[in-house]
Structure 1
């Protein structure tokens, strides 16, 4: 059986301030349904008090590409929130990536960074230092519809994000050459639907969830349903 006829596996890439831990509930659901999934820990999420030269988006993309190349199977690469930016950079030219999925995520174009998407000027990445602290009121902006126990556990694990990861632009865009889809979160209080729409329009199909910003924690079963549909090629 060749790669084109095998069931794909999933590579799940977390967003800013998070880690691979945030995918555990979704991974359990996928495993129960017979799917294999993988995760990475992005180096741009750093311990409190980190200083000096810190990793950026390109470092994250390199770690993602290394994982992609290590998996000997077709892959659906899923990026949540910030994670959409480094998967955009990491996926072009990867022979085993069969689909990219953006979950309330940044489907950037060449020359764009998170900083420019938020209306800022593009800085010289060589001058960018320090970290971006966890965003204000994450219980509300990230997790307002997440069950209390899971919400409190997640809040305790959030860590600073390097400023360089928000400042470095991508110089290639996987969604331009690979099949891609967008999961638009309709009750998102971090990236409102109106902000997600232009990114969704860059992809080949838009799926919708009645969720807040983090459906991997608030409704992992429904997110798994969508990922299964995408992996099986079922239209939106």
Structure 2
């Protein structure tokens, strides 16, 4: 069993493991073992029927499959199944929340954004997509990337099951597992005051990035450095 934690990367809504590629390469160049998963409510063929519990199970199953300590890194919505799924996980050394929803018991992502879906959530029954002509995904997720790079990443976004956004967290990993929170100060999706409020939970170590919502793409070196230091 290795004493150096394996790093597990958990993406946010509409994204996939692909969003971590640059950070993963940098971490692996440092000799770290890295695992990135695709959440089922974005990638499973039956995703319209899935909910938060399915994503939480995917995160927990990935952790349970790792022999040794783990640092789990969660972005945005990915913080919700990470918080839910890792409660009681003995081998998780640290959680890094990157502009993520570190919710408490009884809270939901929808509740955390005011109880009303943002206007850029394009809800079609059981599935939701991100962005519209008035509020394009490029300017929401990737406002600090070159236009062509932002467009290329938007092309990779998929629909997301709607139900996980209103599902309530019932177990809370950050109450027992040390955590780090990365605040993204130019975030067009996640208001700064909300990130600051969540970052204070569980006595998190807090870092502030002068980036948009996706620092793993716009500042991969800085993101990798924070992750590499966590759980050491």
Tell me the TM-score normalised to structure 2 length: 0.89
Task: Select 2:17's aligned residue among 17, 20, 30.
Answer: 20
Gaps of 5+ in 2: 117-123
Call closer, same or farther: CA 1:176–1:64 in 2, change over 3 Å: same
CA distance in 2, matches of 1:211, 1:199: 18
Task: Select 2:101's aligned residue among 91, 97, 106.
Answer: 106
| Alignment-derived partner of residue 132 in structure 1 | 128
Shift of 1:25: 0.8
Shift of 1:43: 1.0
| Alignment-derived partner of residue 88 in structure 1 | 83
Shift of 1:170: 0.9
CA distance in 2, matches of 1:193, 1:118: 12
| Contact 1:147 1:218 (8 Å CA) reproduced | no
Residue-by-residue CA offset, 1:67-123 (whole Å, 9 max, x unaligned): 0000112111110000000000011111110001110000000011111112218xx
Alignment of 1:79-228 (within 5 A): 79-120=74-115, 129-135=125-131, 136-203=135-202, 204-228=204-228
| Contact 1:92 1:173 (8 Å CA) reproduced | yes
| Contact 1:46 1:162 (8 Å CA) reproduced | no
Call closer, same or farther: CA 1:63–1:156 in 2, change over 3 Å: same
* 1:44 counterpart SS class: helix
Q: Give the count of matched residue pairs.
A: 221
| Contact 2:40 2:47 (8 Å CA) reproduced | no
Question: 2:38 matched to 1:41?
Answer: yes
| Contact 1:54 1:129 (8 Å CA) reproduced | no
Tell me the TM-score normalised to structure 1 length: 0.88
Q: Which runs of 4+ in 1 moved over 3 A?
A: 50-53, 147-150
| Contact 2:186 2:211 (8 Å CA) reproduced | yes
* 1:94 counterpart SS class: coil
